[in-house]
Amino acid sequence: MNEEKSYSKRVEEEFKNYGKRVKELKASGKRVIGYLSPIVPVEIITASGAIPIRLKGDVYEAVTTANGYMETIVCPFVRNVFDSALKGKYGFLDGLVMPHLCDSMDRTADIWNYNLGLNYFHFLNVPHVTDEPSLDFFKEILSIFISSLERFLEREIREEDLRMAIEVHNRNRGAMRKLYELRKSEPPLINGVEMMKVLVATMGLPVGESISMVEGLIEEVSERKLISDGHKPRIMIIGDQIDYTSLSETIEDGGGIHVMDDISIGSKAYWADVEVDKDPLYAIAERYLRKLKLPTFVESSDTYSETVEKRFGYLKDFIEEFRVDGVILVTFRYCDPYGFEVPLIKGYIEDLGIPVLYMEDEYSASTIPRAKTRIEAFLEMLME
Amino acid sequence: MSEEKKTRQLATEAAGKIPKFVRGNLSATLRAKEEGKKVAYAFIADGQDEILRAMDIVPAWGESYSGICAAKRDAERFLQKAESNDFSRSLCTYATCNLGFDIWREELDGQMPPDAPWGGMARPDMIIGSAQQLCDPRFKWPQATQYYLKDVPVFIGGMYYPPWDPNTDHKQQEKLYVRYAKEELMALVRFCEKHTGKKMDWDRLSQIVELSDRTCDMFIDAYELRKAIPTPMDTGDAMNTMVPITFNLGTEEAYNFYKDLFDELKGKVDRGEGVVENERFRLIWAAGLPSWFALNDFQYFHNKGAVFPVEVTYRVCERTDRLDLPRTDDPLEHIAWRWVRYWTNWYEKARKRPGSLPKVERIIEYIEDYRCDGAVFHSAFSCRSWHAGIIQQAQVLTKVYGDIPILILEGDIVDISTYNEADTHNRINAFIELLEKSREKRG
Ligand code: SF4
Ligand code: SF4
């Protein structure tokens, strides 16, 4: 019982004080490299000896300082994180890796680089197409990234460093997937709000500490007793960087239960591993280019239905395995990659007989009341 | 309403020929079936058009069609159609306007939506998108379209250029980017061969590529005549005269158009004819696609004695000799080099001026060459590609170049709901005052 408290408490702490641990490590002489989105291969940063920390925003903090530097037509998540960075929240960073995820990142990279004044800034030019030439190209892009990190950190990144980093990140992902397993029961052993906190807390920890936290949590959570108070609508959330709990809270306060996600701090980041029996750089390139389910990647097949299955078939598996009753699809305003996908995803899931609630959001707490009304109505519909 | 009916005054005869060009491109898509040709939805400035031309595939330009709908102030119904299909109003409105059109046409079993502007655009046989550093919609839009046109095959190729990094020499990375672009162009050739049942005629492609080079050179030569004082052509016209280079690259018509434009502008320069009688201020249109429904605003500038001898927007190429392209007999490699070097063309200059950016260097070069007094940007809310980063460009310009009057207009390319004419005119008035004061200050 005591131990349970200690792990859950640690999650709470790390969630509330995001980056606290990394800050401590920085004070003790570690180097810290920030990054955005799950398409930055964290293995490479870990292999360099630096600690990767994924940047998050704060929906409760209004964007103010950033208004003087970045247009309001940029995705509100990107603006929010940039605002946090300008306000010094990430003052402990030695550098930042900005990937070519979307226009909101690509077209603002210079704004970040010029205004944050970090010692190291790298734009990682990830391709969108996943064919053979793109994979070769991406491998070269990763080599350029490695060289630039080596120069900055004055340290060689050897093949064995990469192999070790791959192994440890695979373990981290494996542990997280095990934790997800515990959401499959009815009721789940870990609810959506708690899970969201775990997802946020771990992305701000060095990978080794993330593993111990998740493994510890699995043990405690597995010992919990299932107390059912009737069937509650089981909800999956789809979206990009949903790094706040208000959606899950609204679902769970409204009588539903958030059992699964297809979000970029969640399953999108944890489902695929890097293969260990291949050339490490190739395997990393392959994992990030071909195995991540993000709208920034173009996967095509000969026919439309094959393409759709290739791109979204995993959603069908999620729905079956986690016994999902309804899906909430969230996009951020001004997000072209997710925005253009909405009718497609919605249609695909509805064809499986699962209702979808689509909401365009602003990455701001100010929209919570509006979302609440819609989510409650959706849950009521599911409960009928 | 009355403003809508006013026709913008064109300074050049060349610009007057453009509606015919645009109509010609549209009707080519409608005629293609009878001529046994394939139609492809295609996207501008992505290095793929010469391949389409060589394969006799007729490009159907969605961006152009949305621009037409906007200019006719008839885009709203298409935007609403897309919105009712869950496409957010915050997405690229070229795309959503077109998607609305496509959805409507599918609902009508292939018939054109009622009163479709200029007769509508043909249903494509294929969609050729581009996943690259121009914008996300160039590949998300084709994917979204395919949801409604399920039988239509989609090709998406990657075309990248080395990112700007003040601390890195991009030249070391050029070859990698060129090799990748070339391979992706080759993949496009294979896709086109598969869907047309024809083989690529490589000699023909080489001729087309050579013609494109000449067209780019002629385009730049003609545009550089605008350096004259008074300037013989301004940005309002350039938003028309960009059509051949943007939509008809690789055709004789495009080359001849710029040859005629060159002759016309040369004549005007020789005769000292300017866009306005009393040219008081020369401005650069420093970034941003225009509001197609409000091109009359250029006239408003003219009425104040302000002209735009130069713009960054739609100046989609550079004289090929200035790009110092490595010699190659492979037309795909040539396209790839031309593509990469165009985007990195201002990197060297930016590296030489600490704190500068390539985009700002380009603006500075034009300000100096065209002797501009101020810079105007247009920030269109629905396109991040050209419009995110404008604040930074303005700030860096002021920092590294000096205190030049700057106006940032806000609006959209297609969505008229954000536009307020009175407000825009007030802002232009205030800007003109600023230009006057700045001139007084400089003596
Ligand atoms: S939400 Fe969309 S626009 Fe924002 S960072 Fe993610 S992919 Fe980019
Ligand atoms: S460049 Fe801008 S306007 Fe053109 S398709 Fe892309 S997002 Fe749309």
pLDDT digits (tens, 9 = 90+) for B88-102: 999 999 999 999 999
Q: Which residue has the CA at smallest separation from atom 6 of ligand 1?
A: A240
Interface predicted TM-score of the whole assembly (ipTM), two decimals: 0.96
Ligand 1, residues at Cβ distance < 6 Å: A 75, 77-78, 101-102, 104-105, 240-241, 332, 335, 337-338
Sort out which chain A residues have CB atoms less than 8 A from B164's CB and list them.
110
Res A226: pLDDT: 85
Q: Which of residues 95-134 of A touch B (CB under 8 A)?
A: 100, 102-104, 106-111, 114-115, 121-123, 125, 127-129, 131, 133-134
Q: Which domain holds residue B332?
A: 9-442
pLDDT of A4 over the 50 cut: no
Which domains, ranges and CATH numbers included, belong to chain A?
17-160 (3.40.50.11890)
Mutate to test the interface with A, among B89, B141, B147 (most CBs of A within 10 A): B147
* CA B439 to chain CA mean position, Å: 32
Q: For residue B184, give the nearest of A133, A300, A302 by CB distance.
A: A133
Q: Which residue has the CA at smallest separation from atom 4 of ligand 1?
A: A75
Sign of CA dihedral A19, A25, A26, A31: negative
Percent of chain B with pLDDT over 90: 91
Q: Which tens digits make up the pLDDT trace of A87-98?
A: 999 999 999 999
| φ and ψ of A354, to 5 deg | -110, 125
Lowest mean pLDDT segment, chosen from A61-65, B132-136, B350-354, B394-398: B132-136
Q: Which residue has the CA at smallest separation from atom 3 of ligand 1?
A: A335
- Shortest Cα distance from A18 to chain B (angstroms)? 29
pLDDT of B393 over the 70 cut: yes
Tell if the CB–CB gap between A340 and B140 is shorter than 8 Å. Answer: yes
Q: Print burial letters for A271-281: b (CB count within 10 Å at least 16), e (below 16).
A: bbbbbeeeebb
List of long-range contacts for B172-180, beta carbons under 8 Å, 24+ apart: B173/A144, B174/B340, B174/B341, B174/B344, B176/A137, B176/A140, B177/B336, B177/B340, B178/B333, B178/B336, B178/B337, B178/B340, B179/A137, B179/B336, B180/A127, B180/A133, B180/A134, B180/A136, B180/A137
Tell if the CB–CB gap between A71 and B140 is shorter than 8 Å. Answer: no
Res B202: pLDDT: 98
Quick check: is B2 in a domain? no
Quote the ligand 1 centre to A97 CA distance (angstroms): 16
Quote the ligand 2 centre to B88 CA distance (angstroms): 15
Tell if the CB–CB gap between B146 and A109 is shorter than 8 Å. Answer: no
- Shortest Cα distance from B244 to chain A (angstroms)? 27
Ligand nearest to the CA of A104: 1
Quick check: is B3 in a domain? no
Quote the ligand 1 centre to A198 CA distance (angstroms): 22
Mean pLDDT of chain B: 94
Quick check: is B136 in a domain? yes
Whether the CB of A74 is below 8 Å from some CB of chain B: the reply is: yes
Tell if the CB–CB gap between B396 and A358 is shorter than 8 Å. Answer: no
Sort out which chain A residues have CB atoms less than 8 A from B189's CB and list them.
none
Q: Are the CB atoms for A118 and B166 separated by under 8 Å?
A: no
- Shortest Cα distance from B217 to chain A (angstroms)? 29
Quick check: is B73 in a domain? yes
- Top mutation candidate among A332, A345, A361 for ligand 1, by most atoms within 8 Å of CB: A332
Mutate to test the interface with B, among A65, A67, A71, A357 (most CBs of B within 10 A): A71
Quote the ligand 2 centre to A93 CA distance (angstroms): 34
Tell me, using a 6 A CB cutoff, whether residue B51 lines ligand 2. Answer: no
Closest chain B residue by Cα to residue A113? B165
Quick check: is B224 in a domain? yes
Q: Which tens digits make up the pLDDT trace of B293-349?
A: 999 999 999 999 999 999 999 999 999 999 999 999 999 999 999 999 999 999 999
Q: Which of residues 277-336 of A touch B (CB under 8 A)?
A: 295-296, 298, 300, 302, 304-305, 307, 331, 333-336
pTM for the full model? 0.96
Quick check: is B59 in a domain? yes
Mutate to test the interface with A, among B156, B171, B195, B384 (most CBs of A within 10 A): B384
Quick check: is B4 in a domain? no
User: Number of folded domains in chain B?
Assistant: 1
Tell me, using a 6 A CB cutoff, whether residue B137 lines ligand 2. Answer: yes
Sort out which chain A residues have CB atoms less than 8 A from B132's CB and list them.
128
Quote the ligand 2 centre to B97 CA distance (angstroms): 12
Res B2: pLDDT: 33
Q: Binning pLDDT at 50, 70 and 90, where does residue B403 land?
A: confident
Whether the CB of A377 is below 8 Å from some CB of chain B: the reply is: no
Res B195: pLDDT: 97
Quote the ligand 1 centre to A82 CA distance (angstroms): 13
Bin A88: left if φ > 0, else alpha if -120 < ψ < 50, else beta: left
pLDDT of B11 over the 90 cut: no
Q: Are the CB atoms for B182 and B330 separated by under 8 Å?
A: yes
Closest chain B residue by Cα to residue A75? B384
Mean per-residue pLDDT, A140-154: 98
State how far the alpha carbon of A207 is from the alpha carbons of A23, A30, A112, A244, B222, in Å.
15, 14, 26, 21, 59
Closest chain A residue by Cα to residue B181? A133
Res B6: pLDDT: 44
Tell me, using a 6 A CB cutoff, whether residue B361 lines ligand 2. Answer: no
Quote the ligand 2 centre to B387 CA distance (angstroms): 10
Res B3: pLDDT: 36
Mean pLDDT of chain A: 96
Lowest mean pLDDT segment, chosen from A194-203, A360-369, B1-10, B52-61: B1-10
